[in-house]
Structure formats: structure tokens, C-alpha cells
Structure 1
Amino acid sequence: MVDTSQQQIETFVQEWPSSSAPARDIFLLFLKQLQGLADSRLEFHARPGVSYSLRGVRQERTVRPLFVMVDVIDDEPRWLSVCFYGQAITDPEQRGDFVPGGLLGEDGHCFDIEGTDSSLVAYVQGRIVEAHAAAA
């Protein structure tokens, strides 16, 4: 059986505008990280003209299985907003934003990535690991 989410993700990446290549490279970095996490699966939700959402989900969880949402904001150029449930992560460097009701109706904590700040990308990768562990 072919994973339709994987097909959608591959098509999405292939059609990515060249003007937003830095955001694509960071998206691919997060995608690879999420693919390597145990007991997880990916969901992909496309809303052309608004956002494309890559969601990391813990397979064994029935209550709040989502642990991260990597949204590609469909602007010119594209940029990323990586969101977690507020209680699922820490933000010791206070680099993210608290967003009341911002993650599927619950309080969230989001990190906007509009450039190529490698230290922010690494920091968010750490938050992905933290949220994955908290969802266990």
C-alpha cells in the first residue's frame, strides 16, 4: 500500500517555488528528522494559498497524538511556522511565541522561521525531540 501523505509531500516539494528555496531546505531537514522518530507517523494537510501542514503524530496515542505541526505559510517567499502544544515543550531561550488557542484550538507555542538562521533551526529541532518525548 502506498502512503498517500508521502506522495503528497513529494509532489509538494517538487513543485516548491525556487524563490523560496531556503524555506524548502529547512522543511526537508524537519521532514527527515520527523521520519526518523520512532513510533511516529506523518500527516500532510494542504490548503493551497494559505498553508501546507506537516504533522508529526505519535501512533500509540489516542488523546492528543499530535506533537508538532510544521506549517509552510504560502506567502512570497514561503516561510515556516513550527508549533507545539504549550505544555509539551520548554523554551529556555524564549525564542518562540505563546499563541492562545493557536494549535488546533489549544494553547500553542510557535517558532516562525523566515530566514536561514541555523541556530534557530537547531533550537526548533531540539523542541521537536522534546515534544516527541512528551507525547510518549
Structure 2
Amino acid sequence: MAEAGKFKELDVLLNKWKDTEAKTKKAFLRLKEFLERLPEVILSFKSRPGVSHSLRGTHKNQKDKSLFVMVDIIDDNPENRWLSVCFYGDMIKDPDERGDFVPGGLLGEDACCFDIETWDEELLLYVEKRISEAHEAASRG
């Protein structure tokens, strides 16, 4: 679980980020809160202004991989940010084939990424299921 005040860079970003009609800030906050509610999750944040801001979820039991999900705020156009939620390809299934396979796309390993460019309740629910699936896989070490 995230500690209050732990992510000053994230707090600054969120305070400056003015959401658009696409509601990607709202979508990010929903996924962040979803991750914060999962048991035994350690969250970290890496900011690369002009490129991306990454919220990373790791399970306390994980040994082989450094995270189970990366929620990226793509920052190449700060007026029109969007999200890319990535998982290691071997930690989730994508039964509806809504994600993009990205060879070497997550810290050098094959990934499955879901782009969220506008608020989409159905896609958010689908991604939350993938987060739960990856969390479960990560809990096994």
C-alpha cells in the first residue's frame, strides 16, 4: 500500500494535470486506487517529464520480476496525456485480445499493453481484471 506523502513527484503531477474531456486523469486515479487496495502491494513511481510517468506495482512475494504492472502516463503531449498499462506477457491472459503485444516492451521482456486514450468503463474493468490476474501470479513468487 502506498504511504501518504511518499510520492511527492506524483502529487505535483496530479495537482498540475488538468483533466480533459477524455478523462484520462480520472482513469489513472481509478487504477491507482485499485492498486492501493490490493494486499501486499508495493507501489513505486518514476517520473520522466516529456516522456512518461510510471506507477509500478510489485508484490511483496515477487522474486523473479521487479513488478507485475506498470501504469504509464504518456507525457509526450502534456495537454493530451493518455495511459499505457503494461504487464509481462507471461503473467496475464488477454482473452478478448484488447492489448498490444510488445516484444521487449516491459523492462526488456515481452509485454502486453493496454492503451487508454479516453474513459472507457468496459476497458477499465477489463484492465482491472488483468491487474488482479498479474497480482495473483506475482503473489506466487
| Structure 2 length-normalised TM | 0.89
Where does residue 94 of structure 2 map in the other structure?
91
- Measured in 2, the distance between the counterparts of 1:43 and 1:20 equals 28
- Measured in 2, the distance between the counterparts of 1:52 and 1:77 equals 14
- Measured in 1, the distance between the counterparts of 2:70 and 2:137 equals 15
Where does residue 136 of structure 2 map in the other structure?
133
- Measured in 2, the distance between the counterparts of 1:65 and 1:86 equals 14
Where does residue 100 of structure 1 map in the other structure?
103
Where does residue 124 of structure 1 map in the other structure?
127
Q: Which amino acid aligns with 2:81?
A: R
- CA spacing shift, 1:109–1:34, aligned 2, 3 Å: same
Where does residue 25 of structure 2 map in the other structure?
24
The alignment covers a number of residue pairs equal to 135
Would the aligned equivalents of 1:69 and 1:83 in 2 still touch at CA under 8 Å? yes
- Measured in 1, the distance between the counterparts of 2:43 and 2:94 equals 24
What RMSD over aligned residues (CA atoms) do the two structures have, in Å?
A: 1.6
Where does residue 8 of structure 1 map in the other structure?
9
User: Following TM superposition, where does structure 1 have runs of at least 4 consecutive aligned residues deviating by more than 6 angstroms?
Assistant: none
- Measured in 1, the distance between the counterparts of 2:40 and 2:103 equals 28
Q: Deviations over 1:8-65 (max 9, x none)?
A: 2222211113437701100000010111111111100000000000000112323203
| Structure 1 length-normalised TM | 0.92
Q: Deviations over 1:64-110 (max 9, x none)?
A: 03000000001231000000000100011010010000000000000
Q: CA deviation at 1:117?
A: 1.4
- CA spacing shift, 1:56–1:119, aligned 2, 3 Å: same
Q: Which of the pair is proportionally richer in helix? A: 1
- Measured in 2, the distance between the counterparts of 1:104 and 1:65 equals 9
Runs (5+) with no aligned partner, structure 1: none
Where does residue 58 of structure 1 map in the other structure?
59
- Measured in 2, the distance between the counterparts of 1:86 and 1:26 equals 23
